[in-house]
Every structure is written in structure tokens, then in C-alpha cells.
Amino acid sequence: MKDMDKLLAELAEDAASVRPAPHPYWLGLKLAVAGLAYLALLLAASGFRADLAAAASHPLYLAELALLALIFFATALSGALLAFPDLHQKHMLALAPAGMFALLWLVILLAWQADHPPAPLPVHSYQCTLSIAGVALPPAVWTFLALRRYASTHYYWTGGVAVLSAFSLGAMWLRLHEVNDSIRHVIEWHYLPMIAAGMLGVWLGKLLLRW
């Protein structure tokens, strides 16, 4: 019995202290603050669109920007919740990005109907998708690295949310920087690729977050 007590005491002394995981709200806040700081640096380097004041006079443009911001915040929080197996019993909050994304598409469809006569297409096309993807790459990398430290059992959804978060940040930057009022262009080269990016994130979640 004494040998057993001695063994237990030695094991207790040798046990490394485990740092408790942060609350998902705190983790989501850190991801959101990092993304906003990154967006601010991007806009400081690239500048805002020259006609921002005129564009801001259109309610649907402001609604689009607001929903992109809501998607970003919702995905940051959702990713943090999904990093934990039980989602901290906040299942509805974890699903919030789906609702925000649906509202964004509703605003885009309203803008499509209001675009008469249609605004002229810009001279570029796929370059916007490449720009958004390039801007989204760093936040996607740091989000995956942050979430890999936890024990998510919802890696498909977590990966999709992580990439959608990064892509929404890139889309927000481009809508604030690019002089463009063509809803057709925005749908084709900004938001349809966002759906494809989310699907890619689902695959990356299985590849990178599964344990």
C-alpha cells in the first residue's frame, strides 16, 4: 500500500500542468480583433475607393458591407465555438453564419433587381477573385493554426467557417477599395467564389483539423 501511495505521489509530482483552454468568446474575440487589425492595415496600404461617399449614399451598398461584417464576426465566433466538442452548448450561435450568409444573398438579389439600367461592368473579371483569395490567405492560415490547438469534432463545418471568415474579410476589403457598382460583376467574381471557398474549407477542415 505504501508503494502504491509513493507511486501516486511521484506521478502527481511529474504531471505537467495543463493550461486551461480559453472561453470560446475570448478566442472568437481574438480572431475578430486580428482580422480587423489586418483589414485596417490593408485599407491603409491600398486606400478606400475614390467614390466611397457617393457609394455610401446607397442603402443596399451599406447593407452589403454591414452583412459582410456580420458574417466575419459570426464566423469568428462560430469557429471558436466549433473548436470545442460540445460547442459550449451554444449550437444556435455556431450556426449563425448560415443565417448571415442567407441575408447577404437577399441583399444582393435586391440590389440586382434595383440595378436598372445595369451599371457598366469593370474591365477586369477574375482578378477580383484572385485578389480576394490572396487577401484571405493569411487570416485563413492563422485561423486554422489557432483552431488546430483544440479538439473540434466538427471539422467539416469548422473548416468551412474558417475559410468563409477569411474570404468575407477579403470581400469586405475589396468592396471598400474597388470602384465598382456592377452587381453582376460582384455576384460572379465576389460572392459565387465565396460559396466555392466555403466548400474548399469543408475539405480543408477534414484534412487539417481532424484528429
**pLDDT tens for residues 65-106?**
999 999 999 999 999 999 888 888 888 999 999 999 999 999
Long-range CB contacts (within 8 A, 24+) of 127-134: 128/174, 128/178, 128/185, 128/189, 128/190, 129/189, 129/190, 129/193, 131/170, 131/174, 132/167, 132/170, 132/171, 132/173, 132/174, 132/190, 132/193, 133/167, 133/170, 133/193, 133/197, 134/170
Q: Is the pLDDT of residue 210 over 70?
A: yes
Kindly report, residue by residue over 19-65, the tens digit of the pLDDT. 666 788 999 999 999 999 999 999 999 999 999 999 999 999 999 99
In eight-state DSSP terms, residue 125 is S
- If pLDDT is split at 50, 70 and 90, which confidence band does 14 have? low
Q: Distances in Å between the alpha carbon of 117 and those of 59, 66, 104, 122?
A: 18, 25, 22, 15
Whole-model pTM: value is 0.88
